[in-house]
Amino acid sequence: MRIRFDKLGIVIALIAACGVFFSAFAVLKPNRILQGQAKTILEALPAWAGWGLLVLLAVATAIALFRMSPWLKLTAAAAALAALTIAIGYAASFLTPAGNSYARVSPASGFWILLFAFALLAADALTRLQPPPWMRVLFLAITGGGIALLLISGSWDGLSIMKEYGGRADVFWIEAGKHVTLALGSLFAAVLAGLPLGILCHRVTWLRTGVLNTLNLVQTIPSIALFGILIGPLAWIAATVPGAAALGIRGIGAAPAFVALFLYSLLPVVANTVVGLAGVPPEANDAARGIGMTDRQRLFQVEFPLALPVILTAIRIVLVQNIGMATIAALIGGGGFGVFVFQGIGQTAMDLVLLGAVPTVALAFAAAVMLDALIEANSRVPNGVSAA
């Protein structure tokens, strides 16, 4: 049997080699702001654990390098990722001098490079396996469960990011709540307004160009500028409309952030609604009228179900975009994970930046996987594979 190399595997192996040989695994800092000392895998871990991790990474890299079953590759990637995440927590408690509460250990570039290499391997294996939607959600749940387990077990508690969390646990969850509320709330409002607007644009041709061009224009305004633009009108509303201030509408804070995210969300929702409805086969529409459906019945029984996958795609785009953009809301006092990011930048404390950035990325990733699964489950209906 001839041994054949996997093209992507070569790239993964090169990246992994970079991570092991040319970068540090962890950084030990005397306190949260000062520069730290870089440590390689063998320096950061006791000998047995260091060598054990290296051997495991080598085996996983070998599996990535050659053409093998995707299941094997996925298992190798999962094992490598699990080992890396456990090892970094272990390195933290190993490196921190006993009784020193100022010293900080954080993952260094080598850790992130290795994480990226094996995440790439996992993603490639998953693409080849073409798992059905439910299985992808299951994988996501397993990953989430694993991370939750690590967090609860306390094996990451020695890491600097967790130390930053430890000091602000209550604030963290409040800001998390604000972040999700902003992202989901503005999406919900955008769908509520965008769907009827999209339907209207589909039916009334002359309206379509005007509305879509206006929304396109809004999309090009930088978010900071949009916040600035909104301060005036919202402050005016708060001052003149009775009860508006009590609802939390002010020139700065969550209200302008909400409005900005809502405006950015409108274009994808409206545009995809128009595209989705335009893609409904004309014969199906003609038949629907011809056999006696009213306009409303035709909309809800024929046009809408057929346009749904395209509309769901818009919702996926908007959700992921909003989760990321909600970070900016912190700039004008809107709260969210951005609070930690901007505080961290202000204090040059990168660990604090990570405390804001990592949950944002994780949230966006999870939302993307779940909505992709939902879209696929829906567009499969005409194929009869999974009639929901």
**CA contacts within 13 A on the Cβ side of 278:** 13
Nearest distance in Å: CB 387, another protein: 8
Determine the size of the site formed for another protein (CB under 8 A). 22
Site string for another protein, 321-360 (x = CB under 8 A): ----------------------------------------
384 part of the interface to another protein, by CB under 8 A? yes
Q: Is 205 in the site for another protein (CB under 8 A)?
A: no
**Selected binder of another protein within 286, 333, 348, 358 (CB under 8 A):** 286
**What count of other Cβ atoms lies within 10 Å of the Cβ of residue 152?**
9
What DSSP designation does 96 have?
A: S
Only segment of 26-34, 128-136, 302-310, 355-363 that touches another protein (CB under 8 A)? 302-310
386 counts as binding another protein under rule CB under 8 A: no
- Contact set for another protein, span 29-58 (CB under 8 A): none
> Using an 8 Å Cβ cutoff, are 103 and 97 in contact?
yes
Q: At what angle do helices 169-203 and 205-220 cross, to 10 degrees?
A: 150
| Residue 276, phi-psi category: left (phi > 0), alpha (psi -120 to 50), beta (remainder) | alpha
Token couple for 171: 């604030």
Q: Which stretch binds another protein (CB under 8 A): 44-52, 110-118, 252-260, 376-384?
A: 376-384
Shorter beta-carbon distance to another protein: residue 83 or 307: 307
* Complex with another protein: residue 132 or 146, whichever CB lies closer: 132
DSSP letters, 294-353, are -HHHHIIIIIHHHHHHHHHHHHHHHHHHHHHHGGGGGGGT--STHHHHHHHHHTT-HHHH
Quick one: which of 247, 284, 358, 361 contacts another protein (CB under 8 A)? 284
In angstroms, what CA-CA distances link 167 with 39, 128, 222, 276, 342?
26, 43, 34, 48, 17
Task: Rule CB under 8 A: say whether 279 interacts with another protein.
Answer: no
Q: How far is the CB of 303 from another protein (least distance, A)?
A: 10
Here the tokens at position 78 are 């999962």
Q: Which is closer to another protein, CB of 224 or CB of 287?
A: 287
Q: Which is nearer to another protein, 36 or 309 (CB)?
A: 309
Q: Is 388 one of the binding residues for another protein (CB under 8 A)?
A: no
Using rule CB under 8 A, residue 305 touches another protein: yes
Which residue(s) pair with 129 in the sheet?
none
Using alpha carbons, list the distances in angstroms from residue 216 to 66, 173, 209, 386, 388: 47, 35, 10, 36, 35
Q: Which of 239, 247, 289, 358 binds another protein (CB under 8 A)?
A: 289
Chosen residue from 49, 302, 355, 367 binding another protein by CB under 8 A: 302
The type of residue at 76 is A
Q: Which is nearer to another protein, 99 or 292 (CB)?
A: 292
| Closer residue to another protein in complex, CB, 301/347 | 301
Q: Does 377 bind another protein (CB under 8 A)?
A: no
Compare residues 88 and 375 and give the one whose CB is closer to another protein. Answer: 375
Of residues 260, 288, 312, 357, which one binds another protein by CB under 8 A? 288
- Kindly calculate the radius of gyration of the chain based on its CA atoms and give it in whole angstroms: 25
Cα separation of 233 and 188, whole Å?
23
Q: 310 — alpha (psi -120 to 50), left (phi > 0) or beta?
A: alpha
Q: Is 128 in the site for another protein (CB under 8 A)?
A: no
Binding stretches for another protein (CB under 8 A): 281, 283-284, 286-294, 297, 301-302, 305-306, 381-384, 387
